[in-house]
Amino acid sequence: MRTLRFLLEKEFRQIFRNPAILRVIFVVPILQLLLLPWAADYEVRNIKLAVIDHDHSSYTRQMISKITSSGYFLLDQYTNSYKEALVDIEKNRADIILEIPAHFEKDLTRENEAIVLLSIDAINGVKAGLGASYLQSIIHDFNNEVRSKWIQLPRFNPEVNIDIRPSNWYNPLMNYKFFMVPGILVMLVTIVGSFLTCLNIVKEKEVGTIEQINVTPIKKYHFILGKLIPFWFLGIIILSIGLFIAWLLYSIVPVGSLFTIYVFAAVYLLAVLGFGLLISSFASSQQQAMLITFFLFMVFILLGGLYTPIESMPIWAQWFTRFNPVTYFIEVMRLVVLKGSDLSDITRHIITVFGFAIVLNTWAIISYRKRSS
Amino acid sequence: MNEQSIIHVEQLTKRFGDFTAVDAISFEVQRGEIFGFLGANGAGKTTAMRMLCGLSMPTSGKAFVAGFDVYKQTEGLKRNIGYMSQKFSLYEDLTIKENIRFYAGIYGKSDAFIKDKTARLLHQLHLEDQANKLVGSLPPGWKQKLAFSVAVFHEPRIVFLDEPTGGVDPVTRREFWNLIYEAAATGITVFVTTHYMDEAEYCNRVTIMVDGRIEALDTPSALKQTYNASSMNEVFLQLARKAKRNGDEVKTA
């Protein structure tokens, strides 16, 4: 244990002497939490609309004003032909074309039926899908308004009418930031934790100091613990700074207890740092280590359920997510921060991640060799 | 095995694929000796030394260092040796004192021992004023002297020095060799590789390695006599001319 004391003393001295590490610990969480939640918003706004109105009636005017007042659409311009509007789409000036045929009003009043055409630029699938459905529901609403004006509905509506009133639990206002911020915190702790550990060891390889360590009678697990413990502390500090910023900027206060978050994070960090240690024993330069960790964590984070729901991934990808520690932390953070889950609700998560920690660290100790073959 | 020999090597071989870096070398080093290991770049000096320090696994042959088998007893072996690699390997972002404390600490030395010996060492090296300066800010010559002092700080039985004076000016080299003599006077066996032939003259015995094999092994004066040469430089040139390998083929593994 005395050996470990000397290792920790040295490691902490180096960390606090390194301005780059201190910057990473403080500046990265602030910047990421300042910027990312605004970018990671799934609501689609500012959809550019081109309208071809062949009817020029009061109804069409009403309908168009209803569309633009919804706040989702920007009326790009009125054009006279579908061809012109298509040019707008090609030039990226419009996302959706709404073509209203001549005699729209006449058809609607006489035939009780009218047709409009929507053409949608589907390059951005999310924008196209959501834009079209917003537009459809607005037109549908407009249709109902028109009908209710014409037809005097009987006191008791003979048609069965199901009125759906959703109630959103745990995030009543459907605020995306409440959903994204806990996930971004996970990303932060994961990336910073694994990068710092991995780069630290590889740097010792590059500089050659690791050889001086390897020629001493030091035990392999002492060396690994000497690296693990300091970066574990850094991870906890980053998490704390992140939680503080989440409260400061977005007033996000975990519904569950902070204690639950820290217990899980403590175990989770062991797994992530073990992963960093493992990579470091295979990489021989800092560039190599950076590229490998960058590539792997890109996959882990995209398949971790931060941006897209895991349930909508194909079955094989869902299988992969079970072996992805990031998935568990994102889930736990959302459960605890939004839903107020406690330790007993996340026991399964803790046990699984602890398993990862054991496997990864054992593997790291085995693959760290003091002697080359 | 000879009673007095502290390093015993028999047919020690290291191959990387079909390249034989060290080819069945055998020798003995006596306790308290300054043993020079000479050879051109790529002759296999560093590889041989790394095997003796437990940093590289031999392909075949036998080797015992301070009585420990390099195959199986590396941890015991490592407790009894000091090592200074070609590459400067103290922590540049720690101070002189912190570096000494760290390395002495992981060799299991007590706080009292560390404190006491650090004070003496700093005095001896005239580094008292610099004790709390970062090692990275020291001039190269000082770094080398400090690295050597750290390598023998835990009082090993043998110290391995891999080209310790590379890139150092002649005055500092001289001072460096004084440190080596002082260490040898306390009973530490010194195993040193070099390609400076004037340094070979300072050794008790030298071996000359050519293409992974030991071509000659004796005291400098005996070697000069055998090869009918006036200096070690001439001896070396006569032997090194036979070399078929060139350049830095194998540095580390």
Q: From first to last of its 373 residues, what are the pLDDT tens digits of chain A? A: 789 999 999 999 999 998 888 888 888 888 888 888 887 766 777 888 999 988 888 888 888 888 888 888 888 778 888 888 888 888 888 889 999 888 888 888 777 777 888 888 888 888 888 888 888 888 888 888 877 777 665 555 556 667 777 777 877 766 778 888 888 899 889 988 888 899 999 999 999 899 999 999 999 999 999 999 999 999 999 999 999 999 999 888 899 999 999 999 999 999 999 999 999 988 989 999 999 998 998 889 888 888 788 888 899 989 888 999 999 999 999 899 888 898 999 999 999 999 999 999 999 999 988 888 7
Helical residues (DSSP H) of chain B, grouped into ranges = 45-52, 74-79, 96-106, 111-124, 140-151, 170-185, 197-200, 220-226, 232-240
- The pLDDT, as a whole number, for residue A151 is 66
Chain A residues with CB under 8 Å of B75 CB are 217
Residues B147-168, mean pLDDT to the nearest whole number: 92
A-chain residues within 8 Å CB-CB of B54? 215, 370-371
The enclosing domain of B175 has a CATH number of: 3.40.50.300
Q: How far apart are CA A239 and CA A227, in angstroms?
A: 19
Contacts of A370 in chain B (CB under 8 A): 54-55, 74
Smallest Cα distance from A23 to chain B, Å: 17
pLDDT for position A161: 65
Is there a contact between B78 and A9 if contact means CB atoms under 8 Å apart?
no
* pLDDT over 50 (residue B38): yes
Strand-pair partners of B205: B35
In a domain, B113, yes or no: yes
For this complex, say whether ipTM is above 0.90. no
State which residue of chain A sits closest to B98, comparing Cα positions. A10
Chain B contact for A217 (CB, 8 A cutoff): yes
Q: How confident is the model at residue B240 (pLDDT cuts 50, 70, 90)?
A: confident
What per-residue confidence (pLDDT) applies to A134?
A: 87
Residue range of the domain that includes B38 = 31-56+80-240
Q: Which residues of A touch B81 (CB under 8 A)?
A: 215
Nearest to A10 among B55, B94, B108 (CB): B94
CB A217 within 8 A of CB A367: no
pLDDT tens string B67-85: 999 999 999 999 999 999 9
The whole-model pTM stands at: 0.83
User: For A212, which residue in chain B has the nearest alpha carbon?
Assistant: B89
Q: At what angle do helices A220-250 and A176-207 cross, to 10 degrees?
A: 150
Could you tell me the pLDDT band of residue B249, with boundaries at 50, 70 and 90? very low
Which pLDDT does position A152 carry in this prediction? 60
Q: Is residue B25 part of a domain?
A: no
Q: Which residue of A has its CA nearest to B47?
A: A372
| pLDDT > 90 in chain B, percent | 70
**Chain A contact present for B71, CB below 8 A:** no
Contacting residues of B for A217, CB less than 8 Å apart: 75-76, 78-79, 107-108
pLDDT of the residue at A144: 80
Determine contact, residues B62/B47, Cβ cutoff 8 Å: no
Note the pLDDT tens digit of each residue in B96-114: 999 999 999 999 999 999 9
Question: Of the candidates A17, A216, A370, which has its C-beta nearest B106's C-beta?
Answer: A216
The answer as to whether B19 is a domain residue is no
**Which residues of B are less than 8 Å from A371 in CB distance?**
54-57, 74
Q: Count each helix (H run) and each strand (E run) in chain B, helices first.
A: 9, 10
**Under CATH, to which class is A47-150 assigned?**
alpha beta
Answer whether residue B122 is part of any domain: yes
Residues forming CATH 3.40.1710.10 domain(s) in chain A: 47-150
Contact B37/B160 with Cβ under 8 angstroms?
no
Give domain status of residue B247, yes or no: no
Tokens of A141: 């609403």
Of B55, B57, B75, the CB nearest to A211: B55
Q: Please give the pLDDT value at position B248.
A: 46
Q: Tokens 């590229």 identify what position?
A: A291
Q: Decide if B66 is inside a domain.
A: no
How many C-beta atoms surround the C-beta of residue A142 within 10 A?
16
Whether B56 and A372 lie within 8 Å, measured CB to CB:
yes
Q: What is the pLDDT of residue A275?
A: 93
Is B110 at the interface with chain A, CB within 8 A?
A: no
Residue B39 lies in a domain: yes
Alpha-carbon distances of A267 from A196, A290, A349, B85, B107, rounded to whole Å: 18, 24, 10, 38, 31
* Residues of chain A neighbouring B57 (CB-CB closer than 8 A): 371-373
pLDDT at residue number B253: 36
Judging contacts by C-beta atoms under 8 Å, the chain B residues touching residue A212 are: 83, 85, 89-90, 103
A371 touches chain B (CB under 8 A): yes
Helix B140-151 to helix B170-185 angle, to the nearest 10 degrees? Answer: 10
pLDDT for the residue numbered A160: 60
B residues 4-63 closer than 8 Å to A (CB): 53-57
Taking CA–CA distances from B91, the nearest residue in chain A reads A209
Query: Cβ of B89 under 8 Å from any chain A Cβ?
Result: yes
Nearest to B106 among A209, A218, A373 (CB): A218
Give the number of domains in chain B. Answer: 1
Structural domain contains residue B67: no
